[in-house]
Amino acid sequence: MKKNMFKEQIRPAILLFLVLSLITGVIYPLFVTGIAQLFFHHEANGSLIYRNAKPAGSLLIGQQFDDPKHFWGRLSSTSPVQFNAASSSGSNLGPSNPVLLGAVKARINALKEADLDNKNSIPVDLVTSSASGLDPHISLAAAYYQIPRVARVRGLSQDFVKKIVNQYSRGRFLKVIGEPVVNVLEVNLALDTQNTK
């Protein structure tokens, strides 16, 4: 009786488990990885940008830029450190939360101190974090707000810096969804390259 139960129920269950484990745990992942490497090599490897054969960053994950010669990106609310890709999250702080208000005021003060002559309104994306806390983009308005500071510190004309910003801007998705954005890492690397020529 027990022998028949093993042959009829347990043995097929074990065989099915092993076959499905092989298909879903080995064959399918290798197939998908192969397709990704073949057709989407750059994206499958993290959309990394290299400078001098070393990774400078990813096009998909924001970085902290504090130097006045660089464009500054959005704030990050990931923990335990900013722009922690393993901890993507928003802050979940409401608009009246004192912690959020303090962070916004501190960022406004930092932006004003870095460019005392700039009397323009500060775009909201320069003082708030994104829902993921990892956004590598800023709006065109946020980039344009920073052009006078970046141009002055680098000793470049504002027109030249604006041309670089426009070169690395991306339009609306399908020409209707979202707003035009600028990848902060791409613009900063392009400007760093210009300054070393």
Q: What is the pLDDT of residue 171?
A: 85
What is the pLDDT, as a whole number, of residue 155?
93
pLDDT of residue 121: 92
Amino acid code (one letter) for 196: T
DSSP readout, the chain?
Answer: -HHHHIIIIIHHHHHHHHHHHHIIIIIHHHHHHHHHHHH-HHHHTT-EEEETTEEEEETTS-----STTS----B---SSSTT-GGG-------TT-HHHHHHHHHHHHHHHHH-TT--SPPPGGGTSB-SSS---EEEHHHHHHHHHHHHHHHT--HHHHHHHHHHTEE--BTTTBS--EEEHHHHHHHHHHHHH-
**Residue 1's pLDDT is what?**
53
- pLDDT given at position 196: 57
Q: What is the pLDDT of residue 182?
A: 95
pTM recorded for the entire structure: 0.77
Name the stretches of the chain with pLDDT < 50.
none
Q: What is the pLDDT of residue 3?
A: 65
pLDDT at position 12 is 87
